[in-house]
Amino acid sequence: MTDGQFDGSDRSDRRAPALKLAGATNFRSLGGLPAAGGRRIRPHVLMRADRLTGLTPDDWRTLVGTGIATICDLRSDSERAEHPNRVPPQLALRELHCDIRNDLRADPALARLLVDDATARGAERVMIEIYRRFPAYMGGTLATLVERLLAGGAPLLVHCSAGKDRTGFVVAMLLHALEVPEELIRRDYLASRTWPGADSHRASLEARLGAIIPPHELPAAVDTVLDVRPVYLDAAMDALYAEFGSVLHYLETAAGVDARRIDRLRNDLLE
């Protein structure tokens, strides 16, 4: 097999040449992942990140170099107001504002679930509950996202505040639709465990949770919220399978992404 070629037996993760953004430390491109029919995701056609408020002019130039056409922002309106993306006005790209509030940063009611068990164990239970709700919360968002991709909206960057939970679920669904192997979907999800920008969120989480969680439990509880764990993604997938039976049935039923759209998506995003 020569360089740049592959066959259906090659299911390894061969990412496109790495891109780095100084102002988004949980950023990565999904180009190069193996997918349906022995193909791979085209270089930088799908990207994921944490919030973009800190992007530098060089960072924006890097994104422009990918041909970026769409930014899908999964944050709530209040999160966007606090940390705006500040997309340079001269860039000809479209922003999708999805207003997903199923997150501790966006929904104070979720933090209040910790009252009965104000510990790291309780924080893990809340994170599991957040993920369990993702299939119900994300159907419309996935429909919007796929329609944009099919209308020429790639390359696309999807992000939220930390780039690990809301973004993690949406990206996992897109990768399932493209038939990326389960092992690699999970590997990409867990890559946010080593996210170097987590400390930038620590202070705000400590302030938010400190009113509920006693000081001796607070550091471990915050670590739990900032982490990504297999049990979190398992909770989302278990809820999805219990109601829909499969990811493809979920996409068709909850998001209107039928087999015809999935075929088109694969043709547009894979090489």
Q: How many independent structural domains does the chain possess?
A: 1
Exposed, middle or buried, 242 (CB in 10 Å: 0-12/13-18/19+)? Answer: exposed
Coil vs helix vs strand at 260 = helix
Global pTM? 0.91
Q: How far apart are CA 240 and CA 255, in angstroms?
A: 13
Instruction: Identify whether 77 is part of a domain.
Output: yes
C-alpha–C-alpha distance, residues 245 and 71, integer Å: 30
> Looking at the domain assignment, is residue 11 inside a domain?
no
Is residue 5 assigned to a domain? no
- CATH number of 254's domain: 3.90.190.10
Note the pLDDT of residue 10.
58
pLDDT at 11: 63
The answer to the question of residue 116 being in a domain is yes
- pLDDT, position 123: 94
Taking the C-alpha atoms of residue 138 and residue 4, their distance in angstroms, rounded to an integer, is 35
Beta strands in the chain (DSSP E): 28-29, 46-49, 70-73, 94-97, 156-159
pLDDT at residue 152, as a whole number: 96
Residue 57 lies in domain: 28-269
Residue 119 within any structural domain of the chain: yes
Question: Hey, what amino acid is at 37?
Answer: G
Q: What is the pLDDT along the chain (271 residues), one digit of tens a residue?
A: 233 332 334 566 666 567 899 999 999 999 999 999 999 999 999 999 999 999 999 999 999 999 999 999 999 999 999 999 999 999 989 999 998 888 777 777 787 888 889 999 999 999 999 999 999 999 999 999 999 999 999 999 999 999 999 999 999 999 999 999 999 999 999 999 988 888 888 888 898 889 889 999 999 999 999 999 999 999 999 999 999 999 999 999 999 999 999 999 999 999 9
Q: Quote the pLDDT of residue 16.
A: 58
The whole-angstrom distance between residue 148's C-alpha and the CA centroid of its chain comes to: 17
pLDDT of residue 261: 97
